[in-house]
């Protein structure tokens, strides 16, 4: 199986952020990592492999090098990606009864989706439900394998100008069709919500009246594929950012670094600003680093010294030049599919790269023989932001923003380069395996 095919398998196992975290956990367990609950005491040893989870949607895993305990020897080699993607969330009262005998779903945008890419395609529902079980409430993962909804377009004949401009209303047009009741009949109020929750309950293997809460999202069921005359393209839902989650996880699990603590992070809620208890702005990363340091016998002083000698690679996909709109990109700082990993810079620091982190990462790539591309926004365009500058709020370290080039970012079906999957794995492995000695912002020694 090629790396691109492996990526697609990963994407299919990750229909929601909760499934992404569960799939990452499964792979970590398989590789022998020990789970550390945030509510238990931690016992971390040199040479050990561990992970923790917050909200069942963010994961931080770490490997302690055999020779990195003791005051002054601690440092972190970090990579971060995100587990979520733009979609639509099902509201607490999920059903819309009518008009006529139609049943529809009531949804709200999660993140900045390209709305039209959600029309006329089979949609599943995935996420978690909270279930009452006697005196407990318990979480259950849910993902329908069959289509359960579809957002139908309005016929061309009823909107003749549609090809000149299409601006659907999220409240009116983006209500997925779910069911049809008896012919001609007005259905009883609340029947669509009941039918939907019964369907979800069947998937979860519980009675509908035991579901007390849910975080459920629409999923594009269109199958991922590798395609092109040379199989040079890979297309799938949520390549932003599952491509980076997959490649950094693969690099992390396989890499060896006896002199550092290597850290893998996959955060939820990047697409809605990261400001949740489990997002990149939360204390999750700093809490994890502080607790593992303390467990290794490091003082608060040692921990701060460790941060000063650490580096983060923030991994989130980059905008590749679109074939129909090359004018939308900076003339020199632009990237292409299959051209190698992209280093992103922005003067406003929405990307966390600076000369120091740029140079260190470039040197690592050069030594590993991985091609590198540079990206900056066209100067009159506002780009996105990502994880690095946010996670730096709680645990401030040298940081570089990188990603794989891709087309159609925030479409429900995105496209990237098949070769870039391997480039990313090699680049991110090389970073994890570097014995990096940082001397403030003056210099760094790579070994």
Could you list the residues that contact Zn ion (CB under 5 A)? Answer: 240-241, 316
In whole angstroms, the minimum distance from the beta carbon of 209 to Zn ion comes to 38
Q: Which is nearer to Zn ion, 240 or 433 (CB)?
A: 240
In whole angstroms, the minimum distance from the beta carbon of 95 to Zn ion comes to 31
Query: CA distances (Å), 320 to each of 103, 198, 337, in order?
Result: 40, 43, 6
DSSP per position, 278-338: TSTTSSHHHHHHHHHHHHTT--HHHHHHHHHT-EEEEE--EEBPPTT-GGGS-SSS-B-TT
Q: Which is nearer to Zn ion, 129 or 239 (CB)?
A: 239
Nearest to 12 by CA among 234, 206, 192, 285: 234
Q: Which is nearer to Zn ion, 72 or 112 (CB)?
A: 112
Residues 6+ apart with CB under 8 A from 162: 154, 156
Asked if 395 contacts 403 with a C-beta cutoff of 8 angstroms, the reply is no
In whole angstroms, the minimum distance from the beta carbon of 78 to Zn ion comes to 17
DSSP state at residue 90: E
Q: Which is nearer to Zn ion, 203 or 414 (CB)?
A: 414
Q: Which is nearer to Zn ion, 19 or 140 (CB)?
A: 19
In whole angstroms, the minimum distance from the beta carbon of 274 to Zn ion comes to 11
- Cα(320)–Cα(341) distance, integer angstroms: 11
In whole angstroms, the minimum distance from the beta carbon of 99 to Zn ion comes to 37
What tokens were used for 443?
């210099």
Task: Please state whether beta strands 443-446 and 436-439 pair in parallel, antiparallel, or not at all (unpaired).
Answer: antiparallel
Tally the C-alpha atoms within 13 A of residue 116's C-alpha that lie toward its C-beta: 8
In whole angstroms, the minimum distance from the beta carbon of 360 to Zn ion comes to 23
What tokens were used for 446?
């790579």
Nearest to 28 by CA among 7, 49, 13: 49
Q: Which is nearer to Zn ion, 211 or 387 (CB)?
A: 387
In whole angstroms, the minimum distance from the beta carbon of 172 to Zn ion comes to 28
Q: Which is nearer to Zn ion, 296 or 404 (CB)?
A: 404
């Amino acid at each position: 199986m090629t790396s691109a095919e492996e990526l697609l398998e990963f994407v299919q196992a990750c229909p929601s952020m909760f499934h992404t975290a569960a799939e990452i956990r499964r792979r970590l367990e398989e590789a022998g990592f020990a789970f550390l609950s945030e509510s238990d005491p931690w016992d971390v040893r040199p040479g050990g492999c561990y992970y923790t989870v917050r909200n069942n949607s963010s994961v931080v895993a770490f490997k302690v090098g055999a020779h990195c305990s003791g005051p002054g020897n601690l440092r972190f080699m970090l990579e971060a990606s995100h587990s979520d993607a733009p979609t639509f969330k099902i509201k607490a009262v999920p059903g819309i009864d009518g008009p006529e005998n139609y049943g529809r779903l009531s949804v709200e945008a999660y993140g900045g989706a390209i709305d039209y890419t959600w029309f006329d395609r089979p949609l599943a529902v995935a996420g978690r439900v909270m279930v009452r079980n006697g005196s407990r409430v318990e979480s259950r993962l849910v993902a329908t394998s069959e289509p359960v909804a579809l957002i139908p377009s309005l016929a061309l004949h009823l909107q003749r100008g549609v090809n000149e401009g299409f601006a659907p209303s999220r409240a009116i047009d983006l209500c997925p069709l779910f069911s049809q009741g008896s012919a001609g009949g007005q259905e009883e109020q609340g029947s669509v919500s009941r039918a939907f929750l019964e369907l979800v309950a069947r998937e979860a293997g519980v009675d509908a009246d035991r579901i007390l809460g849910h975080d459920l999202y629409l999923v594009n069921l269109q199958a991922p594929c590798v395609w092109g005359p040379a199989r040079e393209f890979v297309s799938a839902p949520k390549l932003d950012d599952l491509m980076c989650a997959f490649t950094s996880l693969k690099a992390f699990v396989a890499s060896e670094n006896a002199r550092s603590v290597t850290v893998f992070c996959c955060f939820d809620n990047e697409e809605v600003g990261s400001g949740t208890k489990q997002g990149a702005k939360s204390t999750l990363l700093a809490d994890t680093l502080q607790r593992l340091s303390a467990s290794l016998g490091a003082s608060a002083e040692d921990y701060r010294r460790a941060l000063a000698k650490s580096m983060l690679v923030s991994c989130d996909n980059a905008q590749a030049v679109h074939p129909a709109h090359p004018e939308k990109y900076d003339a020199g700082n632009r990237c292409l599919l299959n051209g190698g990993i992209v280093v992103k810079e922005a003067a406003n620091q929405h990307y966390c790269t600076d000369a120091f982190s740029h140079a260190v990462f470039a040197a690592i790539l050069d030594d590993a023989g991985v091609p590198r591309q540079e990206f900056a926004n066209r100067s009159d365009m506002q780009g996105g932001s990502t994880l690095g500058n946010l996670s730096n709020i709680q645990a401030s370290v040298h940081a570089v923003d990188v990603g794989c080039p891709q087309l159609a970012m925030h479409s429900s079906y995105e496209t990237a380069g098949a070769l870039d999957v391997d480039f990313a794995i090699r680049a991110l492995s090389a970073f994890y395996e570097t014995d990096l000695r940082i001397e403030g912002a003056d210099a760094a020694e790579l070994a």
